[in-house]
Amino acid sequence: NPEDMTKLLLAMPLIALACVSFAQQWDMGMGFNFSKPIGGMATNIDHGFGVSFEGAYLLKNAPFSLGAEFSYNGYGHDKTRQQYTFDDGSVTETNVIVTNSYSNLMGTGKFFLRKNKLISPYFSAKFGYSWYRTTLQIEDPEDADGCQPLEQDHLVKDGTFAVSGGAGVRVDFSSIFRKMRSNTVFFDINAHMTQGGSVRYMNVDKPVSHQNHDSDVVAGFINNRTQVIHEHHVGYIYNSLVEMMEYRVGVVYRPSR
């Protein structure tokens, strides 16, 4: 069952965190991501930005670590003013926001060429699930913080299993400071290539080429003066294999044993 599989994958970081909390040595990391699609996906998406969180257990007396990571990335955003009609017939003008994003939940494994050194290069492999979402949100004009939208919906949602491989390097930032214990805080930079199955997704930003889209997405809004409902073009739906290069910089914290 895909839903049960997704729930299991969502529970992986919690399981990993519960396991490593009893370990003698473990890592907690956070990074900023830049993704650049390649292959067929590159014609539909230019690039994306996001954040990632990781927890990993370092095997004792071995240059390996095992863990899990979650990343969220946005690659398209559109904000327009539209007329919105309530159930009682009243109409207001408000912002309509459409956001394209994808998320990855991966099990991770790293092989360190020089473990616990000032500079530690490594190879990395990942396996997990990647899902794509396009959300539409109609803001409430009376809610300045935007916490309670008038309406929110998923226009397109799909996902697929994916694998990733790459390399990176860690620099022991803590060794620069005399009062800080070494091998505690690291600067981490890495690059990975991610490959996955076919997935349907949307892009509100006009891509380099949009001749191969499956269909258009439109949303209906009412004109306040004429009371005529008109269709507002939101974006295009595409279908391609997941093919992407991902570049990441971040910080890793390793609690003292």
Give the pLDDT score at 125: 97
Give the pLDDT score at 117: 79
C-alpha 146/C-alpha 192 separation (Å) is: 35
Give the pLDDT score at 153: 73
pTM: 0.77
Within 10 A of 198 (CB to CB), how many other CB atoms are there?
11
Q: Are the C-beta atoms of 139 and 94 separated by less than 8 Å? A: yes
C-alpha 195/C-alpha 162 separation (Å) is: 6
Give the pLDDT score at 74: 94
Within 10 A of 190 (CB to CB), how many other CB atoms are there?
20
Closest among 166, 238, 162 to 196, alpha carbons compared: 162
Helix or strand (DSSP H, E) at 15: helix 2-20
Tens of pLDDT along the chain (257 residues)? 444 455 455 555 555 555 544 445 789 999 999 999 999 899 889 999 999 999 999 888 889 999 999 999 999 888 877 766 666 666 677 778 889 999 999 999 999 998 777 899 999 999 999 999 998 887 776 665 555 655 677 788 999 999 999 999 999 887 776 667 777 889 999 999 999 999 999 888 765 454 555 566 655 554 444 454 445 666 778 999 999 999 999 999 988 65
Token pair, residue 26, equals: 């473990």
Compute and round to an integer the Cα radius of gyration of the chain: 22
Estimate to the nearest angstrom the gap between the alpha carbon of 155 and the chain centroid.
18
Q: Are the C-beta atoms of 150 and 126 separated by less than 8 Å? A: no
Give the pLDDT score at 1: 44
Give strand ranges (E) for the chain: 26-37, 48-58, 64-85, 91-112, 119-138, 151-172, 185-203, 215-222, 229-253
Q: Are the C-beta atoms of 36 and 1 separated by less than 8 Å? A: no
C-alpha 253/C-alpha 250 separation (Å) is: 10
Coil, strand or helix: which one is 3?
Answer: helix
Residues 153-180, buried b or exposed e (16+ Cβ, 10 A)? eebbebbeebbbebebbbbbbbbeeeee
Q: Are the C-beta atoms of 74 and 101 separated by less than 8 Å? A: yes
